[in-house]
Amino acid sequence: RHAVRVTVFLTDLSNFAKVNEIMATYFPQPWPARAALGVSQLPKGARVEVDCILHLD
């Protein structure tokens, strides 16, 4: 399976570089299309939420 689109929601945009570093360990090149959005809060106190669309072979 391959991620074709990833949306990352962050409550603190200063974590953006760290999220990039972590994401690189989960998604090999070529990287999927991605958007990162700053939000005021996430459920259950989460700091990051990741939504993925996968293509299943």
Q: Per residue in 22-44, pLDDT tens?
A: 999 988 888 899 999 999 999 99
Which residues 6+ apart lie within 8 Å of 16 measured at CB? Answer: 10, 36
pLDDT at 51: 97
- The amino acid that residue 33 corresponds to is A
Handedness of CA 41, 42, 47, 50 (dihedral sign): negative
Q: What are phi and psi of 30, to 5 degrees?
A: -70, 135
pLDDT at 1 over 70: no
What is the value of pTM for the model shown?
A: 0.86
pLDDT at 2: 87
CATH pick for 2-55 out of 3.40.980.10, 3.30.1330.40, 3.10.20.880, 3.40.50.10490? 3.30.1330.40
Domain boundaries, the chain: 2-55
Mean pLDDT for the stretch of residues 49-57: 93
